[in-house]
Amino acid sequence: MTLAHSTITGFIPTTDLDRAHLFFSEMLGLTLLEKTEYALEYAVKGAKLRVVPVAANVSADHTVFGWEVTDIESVMAGLINSGVRFEIYQGMPQDERGVCTFPGGGRVAWFKDPDGNTLSLTQSAR
């Protein structure tokens, strides 16, 4: 038996479930499936995202969760209108909005949740 055909669940830590809920539900527009003292669970296109409480969050220096999108510009515009701020990283070939275009044509933009976890949008090369 393999996991190749199993549904995935991603996990993101938070020190404040209420603050995280405002971000993931209100700003990102994710649908809340369940809210308990142990986690917030959101629907993410055939998968689930669980935002789990931790006593102290140590943010990773890399992307922890991302979304594949077909039109990065329009998704970014909607998120910016909701209050999301995109990151600019020194040494990365990003434009003024924070979109990094790689040699093969793929595009990525990064943003952070209220706990400092790095999230991303990716648009594959056409």
Q: What mean pLDDT is predicted for residues 62-85?
A: 96
**If you average pLDDT over every residue of the chain, what do you get?**
94
Which token pair is 54? 């931790």
Q: What is the largest CA-CA distance in the chain?
A: 47
Contact assessment for residue 27 and residue 82, using Cβ atoms and an 8 Å cutoff? yes
* Burial bucket for residue 4 (CB in 10 Å: 0-12, 13-18, 19+): exposed
Rounded to whole angstroms, how far apart are CA atoms 65 and 44?
A: 11
In the predicted structure, residue 73 carries a pLDDT above the cut 90: yes
**pLDDT class of 60 with cuts at 50, 70, 90:** confident
Give mean pLDDT, residues 6-16.
Answer: 95
What's the pLDDT band for 101 if we cut at 50, 70, 90?
very high
Which tens digits make up the pLDDT trace of 12-34?
999 999 999 999 999 999 999 99
Q: Return the C-alpha torsion angle 85, 94, 92, 65, nearest 10.
A: 50
CATH number of 9-123, picked from 1.20.1250.20, 3.10.180.10, 3.40.605.10, 3.60.21.10:
3.10.180.10
Which sequence spans correspond to the domains of the chain? 9-123
Please tell me the pTM assigned to this model: 0.92
